[in-house]
Every structure is written in C-alpha cells, then in structure tokens.
Amino acid sequence: MASEDEYYKERYQEVKDKVEYKDFLNDIKEIKEENGDSPFITEEQIVDMAIEKYAGRQNIQQTHTNQVQEISSLIEGNGNISIQGRLIAISNIKTFTTKKGREGKVANLTVEDNTGKIRVVMWTDNMKYMSRISEGDIVKINNLEVRKGYTGDLEVQMRNNSSIQVLPEEVDPSLPKYEEVITNLGDIKEDGEYNVIVRIKKISTLREIQKEDRTLQIVTLDVMDKTGAMEFTLWNKDTKLIETLDLKEHDTIKILKARAQTRYDQTSLSNSWNGRIIKGDYDVPEFQEEILKIGDAKEAEKVTIIGVITKIYDTITFDRNDGSEGQVRSIEVTDDTGSIRVTLWNKETEIAMDKGDIIKISGGNVEFDDYAGDSYRLNTGWNASIVINPEIDDELSKKLADINNFQITKIKDVLNIDEDEGREVDVIGRILSMQDIREFQRVDGTEGQVRSIDLADETGIVRTSLWDEKSDIDQGLGDAIKIENARTRLGQNVMELSVGRSSRITVPSEEEMADLPSYQDLERDRYNDRTISQLEENEQNTKLRVRITNVGEVSTFTRVDGRDGRVRPINVADETAEIQVSLWDDDTEKKFPEGLAIIIENPVINSQNGHLRLSIGNGSTIRQARQEEAELMPSLREIENKLYVEKAIEDIEEDDQHIKVKGVIEEINGDKILYAMCPNCNKRIVQSEEGYICDICGEKIEKPNYLMIISTTLRDETGTIQATFFRKQAEELIDTTTEEVIKIFEQTSDESSMSSRIEDLVGHEVTIIADSNFNEYDEDIRLNVRRLVIVL
C-alpha cells in the first residue's frame, strides 16, 4: 500500500499543469480541517475534492447553486445541488466523537420525489432544522453533495452552509403521500416496518455481544399496548437514546418505522436506521407490576424485587469457554421480609451503586443456591433491568427506610466489641503502618498471602489483616480507605479486623473523610518521639527523626526454612547519638543516600554486645522525611560537628566510637588491595592451582566477590596510627570503584598495577570518622574507617 505522501504525488499528476504541488497540499489540509467533524469521510474523498477544485472529474458535474435535481438523476460526486420532495422519515439524533475529539451529532432523513427516494445525512451544524420539520412535510434541501454511503447506495450529505425549507402542499401535490399508520402490537404478524404507540414496562441494562472481531451493544425494552406485549431492541449507538430521550419505565412512546422480525415463533421489534422514537403523553393502558417479597422467594423466572443494597462484593473476572473474559459480582439486597444474594454479570457489574442505595431488579430468575444451605439467590441473567434509587411509593419508602440505616463503625467501638468474633462492620481510617505481603501455605496445600496494616481514625487504631487478593491494594501509608464487611476477630486479647473475599476496599468520599484526622496528627498521637540516646531495649511505639550517616552493602543469607534473605546495615544519627539499623529483604532496595532525613517508626530495639541496634520489622515503618519535617532537623554537618569528637592520635583510647581524626598519610599499601570473598558465606578465599575453593562451604568458586581493603598509617603532630579503609571508604580514598580496579587487574594480570597511583596519596591529609579497637597480636590501637570526610 502506497504511503500518504506517495498517494498525494500520484493523484497530483491529474492537475499538475494547473496548480503547484505545495498549493495542492494546502488545499488538502484545508478540506481536512473543514470536514474534521465528519467521521465517515475518507482520504480518497478529500483528495477528490481538492482535484475537483482545479480539473473536475469525468462524469462529475458541478451544478448551479440551489438547482433542484430529480433524485433518480443524482450522480456520485455532484456538489452544490438541491433536492425537493416528501419527508417520509426522520431518525433520532445520535452522538459520536469526531476526529478532533469533540462531540458531534448525526441524523438521517429520507426524502422521496416522483422518481425515487434517498437518504439525507445531517451533521452537527444542521441540527437546528430538526425542530422545524416533521414527517409528511414537503421540503427543499439546498447545497448538498452526492456520495456513496457505507451500504454502497447513493446518499446526499448536508454541509455547513446547507439549509432546509418547508414548502406548502400546493408546491407539488403530485408527490407521494405520507401516511402514518399506527399498528397494534397484537396485529404484527409478519416481518416489515411498523409504527407503534406503546408503554415501556422494562428497560434492560446494557449488554455486549462478541461477534467475530466486533463487540455489539444491546438494550432491550419490554413494551406493551392494549393488545399485547413485545420486545423492542436498540443496537450499538442507538442504545444511547435511552439517556438522550430520558426514557424510563411507564413512559409512553411512539416508534416510527420499527422493524419487526420473527424468530423461533417469537416476534420482536428493533430500531431501524431511519426510524424514530418520540416520547409523549399517549393513550396507552397502565400496567400493574408485581413486586416479589424477598422473604417469599422460591424458584421462579422473570420476577421483580425492590430492596436496599446491604452488601457489595468486588467484581471477579473469569475466562469463558470461548477464551474471552467475563465479569461477575455479587450484592446482597434486603427488604422488610428478608435478604437475598444477587448475581450481576458483565456490564451490570459496572453499574455505580453504594451500600444503602435502593435497587429495583426486574426480569431476574430466583434459583436455589447450592452453596448457601436452603437459601435462594437471584440471577439477573440475560435480559434483566436494574434501576438504582427508582421512584417508589411512600409506603414502600417508609418500610425500606428502617433498613437503610448504615453507619460507619468507629474504631474504638470495634475494639470494645465484647468477644463477638465474626461480626461484620464498615470502617473508615488512614493506613498508619503497612507490612509487606507475606506468603503462606494453607492446610490443604494451597498458597495464600496476607498483609497487616494498622488502620486509625480519631478514636483509635486497629490491626487489620488483608487476605489474598485484598492484600494487593493501591493505597499506601497515610491514605484513607473504606472497608465494607470487615469481620471482627479476637487477636492477642484485642479485637482485630479480617478483610477477605466478602469484604470490599474503596476510597471514601470527601464527606465521609470530613472528621478523619490527617496522617500527621494520627502519627503524632500514636508514637513517642525519641532521640537515639533516649532509646531503651524492647521499647515500642517509638519515633526517630534521623539522618543517614552510612549505607552498608547488601548481604544475602539462607533462612532456617531454606528461603533466601537479604540484609543491609545503615547507620543513622541525630544530635545525641548514632545507631545501626538493619533493613531486610525488599527494604534493602530503598534508595537512601547519606545525609537523607528519614523517619523511623516502631523499630525493633535490641542489644548486641552491649550496644543497642535497630531492626525494621513487620510492624515498623521507615520513610523519607517530608520537606517540612526535614527542615526542622539539623543538617548532617551539624550532627557531625556535635556528635563526632575530634581527637589527636595520642589521645585515642581503646573502643573509642565515632571519633574524628585528622592526619597525613605517611604510609599506604598499594600492592594488595583486592581480596576474594566467597559469594555464599562471604568468607575470604584463597586461590590455588585448582582455582578458588571455599574452606567453609567446601565448594569451588567460579566467580568470587571482591572486597577492597586499603591499609594506611596516619600521622599528626602527636603520633601515628594504622587506619584501614574498607569497601566504599576505600573506593572514595582512591576515587575508583571496585569494579574499575577489577577490570584494570584483569587487563594487566598484575595485582600491584595500581600501587603507584595509590602511593601518590602519601603526604595527603585526610579527615575520617572511625572506630578504634585494640589489636592483640601487635598490642596496639588501630582505626576502622567508617567514613572519609575529606582528602586534601
């Protein structure tokens, strides 16, 4: 297929002697803009119109403005013509989306003269004439263009400057007469077109039918007159007429040119392309609708119930036998006699509804529920009607008002429920803490997952378990959620909530959140602000505002149950002290650069070798501080100046922690700076003739990990001391990454190839943060560098 540019050049040859190519392209652009609201115009038609401007095409005639032509004489491509005849059909106005994304309108007229009849297509700008015309009028329609329609037949299309004139009958009495014959439903026996006046008994919900590569939309109206009842079907774009004409049950309508069709001995009507629905006050008998009391439900077809929605379950997607996807949702409906579970299918699952809404369902089938003991359920099936908050009489309204008294349960009331496990409640709160999803295996061998959150409102906090698909929620820390049908369960002497398949999680409305405190207020009320120096072992509900001073490497390990685990140590500090924090598994991937202000809530606090350590457990939260929180915290430089005591080398004592030392590099070992490590146990390994073998794991290591260690001797005016730089500190000292050093060694096959570059650091002054320890072998004090502050 030729490209658009190639097609333009090919067609340009027809008029190349009369117009420059660039002007030809401008004409095409202008025609496209002029016809932007016409959804069915083709590229070929646009180019034809540009060419006609200069050359005209064989067998295409441009007529004089408003010259009336007989319908039988019309030729494709004729423009600027008029037709005159009897208006025998007017369609309803239909909407569409234009190529420019705007809403457009289209309607069809059928005009007949003594030589034939033709369809007239009206567009958005022509709709002003719709209120001026009626079936049976004699009309003259001006400034039309003849085209081939999508069916292959000729049609005429109105343009922006087209007009319609209604003419008196005496202009042409010879025109075919228009007769509007109304047929009773009981008299429709054969296929054909009929005019009927009916009352709407029921309007089905929108349904979709998959047919080959198309999706068809359908709405069915049950209609009646004094002689009988029948189905009237709207297809595809016609389904929007329900909303456009504001059609409701009990309305009376006139349907013109309804198409009758008999299948399986059943006659039904459908809307035709040139048919019209007119809503009005017509003389059609009323009908009495029998409402089934839910408490009396037995197996039956095509019943109607009215009740209050007391439960709404999430929509479930399933695979049909043909490979397509279907949707199903359950709700519970209650009236003054009982409750029933209702099954909604496909498009019905998309109907907006809330707990407490009144719902009317017509055309549903009551079936025995095999999964609920001796109960029944209502299946909406194929042709049911669902109306949310319908008009009902005062007596029924009063009865349902006693049911419609749903209240959100405050969390303090959940906590005070006296061992009443299994009670269903609706709650609204903010997520105050959130654990990772945890997978587990059930007794029957199936896999499950659960996530715990702490949900808080202005009255309290409740631990809430989200099970299986409910655990994968979009909301995060601080977000407000509404949980319907949460079940109470007794935890460790405290009532908790369980959110499973029968529960629903949604976003509450602004009105529902009116009394809900902000996350900051809830957070402040729950946690006890502490500095690092104030922490005590096993203390709970603490909150720390700290900055990161050091980020360690991730280490992997194997748990007792055989699962792999990851841990990353980081160091944090405030103006009172510094402490190590362990991050586990997914938390190890968080991007926490040094100096970042973070908030730690409810960490696990334990003691190791006489020093407190923090661990981010399931009930902990670690997050970046908000801007307003960070602005209230001292900077990393201010923390260092207050926290790290500067010492001269001769004053360093055994077990000094976080001291600042300034000295000149007197010696540095650049011959051996990379050490091979076992990737499994992280222990040092030595290369032999057989390669690397780990003495701990007993395995041959094909590709070891490497640890960079640089040993130095520092001097100040008071003495010397050995200081060792590990990993990141070693990389910062020589301004080269471990990966770059490995690459250099592989290229040179010489582990000392960087020694001269490293030894150039001799004589440079460094400032470090370090811990001291006593070396028993040499009986001296040495420094382990924790941070390199500056190199001069």
CA distances in angstroms from 398 to 284, 294, 353, 391, 708, listed in the order given: 30, 17, 21, 13, 80
Q: Are 86 and 175 in contact (CB under 8 A)?
A: yes
Sign of CA dihedral 513, 517, 519, 522: negative
For residues 111 and 73, what is the distance between their CA atoms, to the nearest angstrom?
Answer: 14
Per-residue model confidence as pLDDT tens digits over 481-503: 999 999 999 877 788 999 998 89
Contacts of 349 (CB under 8 A, 6+ apart): 315, 327, 328, 329
In 310-431, which ranges are continuous DSSP H helix? 394-401, 411-415
Among candidate residues 348, 311, 352, the one with its CA nearest the CA of residue 333:
311
**Helix or strand (DSSP H, E) at 158:** strand 154-167
Q: Are 71 and 116 in contact (CB under 8 A)?
A: yes
Q: Are 270 and 258 in contact (CB under 8 A)?
A: yes
Chain position carrying tokens 């146990």 = 681
For residues 152 and 275, what is the distance between their CA atoms, to the nearest angstrom?
Answer: 20
pLDDT at 501: 87
Among candidate residues 233, 291, 293, the one with its CA nearest the CA of residue 267:
233
Contacts of 779 (CB under 8 A, 6+ apart): none
Q: Are 116 and 83 in contact (CB under 8 A)?
A: no
Q: In this structure, what DSSP letter does residue 532 have?
A: G
Q: Which positions of the chain have pLDDT values less than 70?
A: 1-2, 34-42, 45, 52-66, 99, 371-374, 404-405, 419-420, 792
pLDDT at 292: 93
pLDDT at 372: 61
For residues 451 and 436, what is the distance between their CA atoms, to the nearest angstrom?
Answer: 6
pLDDT at 466: 94
For residues 546 and 633, what is the distance between their CA atoms, to the nearest angstrom?
Answer: 8
Per-residue model confidence as pLDDT tens digits over 452-475: 899 999 999 999 999 999 999 999
**Helix or strand (DSSP H, E) at 519:** helix 519-526
DSSP 368-387: E-TTSTT-EEEE-TTT-EEE
Contacts of 65 (CB under 8 A, 6+ apart): 80, 142, 143
Q: Are 438 and 451 in contact (CB under 8 A)?
A: yes
Its pTM stands at 0.60
Contacts of 331 (CB under 8 A, 6+ apart): 309, 311, 312, 313, 341, 342, 344, 353, 359
pLDDT at 374: 65
| Count of other CB atoms within 10 angstroms of residue 696 | 12
pLDDT at 2: 58
SS3 percent helix, strand, coil of the chain, rounded to 5, is 20, 45, 40
